Structure 1
Amino acid sequence: MKLKKLALGLGLLAALGLALAYVYRAPLSLAIASRVATAHLAADPLRELPDGLHVGLCGAGSPFSDDKRGGPCTLVIAGPHAFVFDAGNTSVRNLGRFGLAHGRIEAIFLTHFHSDHLDGLGELLLQRWVSTGNAKPAPVYGPEGVQDVVDGLRQAYRADSGYRIAHHGEATLPPGGFGGEARAFTVPQNGPLVLLKEGDLEIAAFAVDHAPVHPAVGYRIRYKDRSVVISGDTKKSAAVTREARGVDLLVHEALAAPMVGLIGEAAAKAGRPNVKKLMADIVDYHSSPEQAAEVARDAQVRYLLLNHIAPPLPLPGMEAAFLGRAGEIYTGPLRVGIDGDLVSLPASSPEIRHQRRF
């Protein structure tokens, strides 16, 4: 009897607690939200990473709509430095999900000027400015033509920047920090061009074959004793093999032609000949997963991370179909990239760590 009374009393207390929580749900939720916001703004999880190179996919996809992969974007943390390579449509959101304060970005590097590689650039430049009140614009490195891109975005965002300065004041948003500073370069056909060299850090660009898109480049990043190559969009390229020789990590684009062909066939049946033609055309200036594996094998890289994944892989089993024979060709660690992937290369260590950040 006593146990029944105790149980009844505890039940009543629980019910009362739930009732009070419901009545005061608004102030309680605001109190929790305040604590979460403070913790989020104070946190900098990327600074907790060990010294070394860290490569995150803030966009592992292509122009295809893909719930798991946004437009091309790669985050590189090199010791205390933070860089972004390409700026597709989910760049700002996914960089935030990595825990990066956008104001920390020291420079942005573009591989070429297809829209899917830069349609998030305007917002990224804006967030870099407003989130930290940077007094200087972000350097934007790219092949010849990058000046037009940066100038066009400055013009498109000019009214917006004026509103913000008028509203918040120049002390909060220094006018000189708005937009980007274009840094155009021309790479030789037979070797890399060093763009940035500072202490233990070196970033170089090299030409790749994405014809008729020209110029198009890939990048090689070295920090202390660790290294990574980002292929950019390219056919199978001897230049990528050359620059990736012996690197710890190769981030290489991949398109599965048979799967793209299925989309073309479906488009033909649906009476959409333009889409069928597009699907036929895009195959000839990208690399297949097997070709990316051949590059990784021949260059003797230690880890292959595929990005710019085309087409999307929404169903179970599609990843195996996408890879084809790639896993037989390259027998090292191989991953089909997805937004939130982070590969860490700690300095003074042979270790390669993969983790999911979101």
Structure 2
Amino acid sequence: MLFVRPARLADLDAIAQMARTAQPVLHSLPPDRAALEARLALSEDSFRAEVDYPGEEFYLFVLEEASTGKLVGTSSLVAAAGYAEPFYAFRNDALIHASRELHVNRKIHALTMSHELTGKSRLAGFYIEPALRGEAAAHLMSRARMMYVAMNRRRFTPEVFSLLLGVTDEAGVSPFWEAVGRKFFGRDFKDIEMASGGRSRTFIAEVMPAYPLYVPLLPEAAQRVLGEPDPSALLAYEIHLEEGFEPDRYVDIFDAGPVLTAQVDRTASVAGNGTRTVTQASDAIGNINTQGAAYLVASERAGEFRCALATLPAAAREAALDAPTRAALGVNAGDAVRCAPLYRAHAEAENESAAGDAS
């Protein structure tokens, strides 16, 4: 039985191990114990804080195996990216070069440094043990964050985005970095990745090119990876699409990885979210049955957020949960939980059913 909860300082050792294991290295999950400890402390403060609008809050979540207490994944939410300093990305632009005399009119693809994403809420730091990748557990670890957003709208902005890893080779070398970043920094991608602080460091504006980069002038290898996720990020990419995120006009300023954005109201976890009353599952097997569909089920009893998966019937007012799931969520029969279909197809089918009932 897996469930998602807020991380605690007591989780430091497990999270530090995940940070060391993650490949390629994630700037949002640095393999530095002191930095991780500071983030855990900030996360605990953020969850406890009374928030009326998004600010410098940072929320770190972990995926826990209920029977053993082992942590097998982590992810995070940034309330306002670049709260202290601008958040930088490359914006995809099309520049027109024309000459009436030569009868030339060409549209040229260019990349322009931008901080337009500054202040928007951001999903970050997704990691899950390799053995669980491709399973529903990965969806739970990633999308539980949006369930938290759905239950705490004032803490986040109306639009959210996620920056995914760009393509690197087995040695961690980024073709885009070699073509662009190295020319200005003269250092390895991994070094600057860790120093970037989530793409919000003054040195980015000081060192990176202030003028547009003309894409046709870049090496073919760098052009080919523009906006492409690294193979290790394909699962996260697909989960974001399932949630309702879409590729936007931005790419990462270092490795040209894709930036995905979504309007919170249109995400699957928010648009398909509804309240149900907990009841005890009648079957001995609990939530593993052939009736119904997979749902994200979240609770926030006594201020402690929890999220797990359960199989529930569509368009019902009750959530029949087995004992392990109720324990993981910290709820009892009669308590209210928030539920959203795990897969968009199930959400659309439920909406069609509800519309039919209404008519």
Q: So what's the TM-score if we normalise by structure 1?
A: 0.23
Q: So what's the TM-score if we normalise by structure 2?
A: 0.23
Judging by fraction of residues, say which structure has more helix.
1
Judging by fraction of residues, say which structure has more strand.
2
Give the number of the structure whose alpha-carbon radius of gyration is greater.
Answer: 1
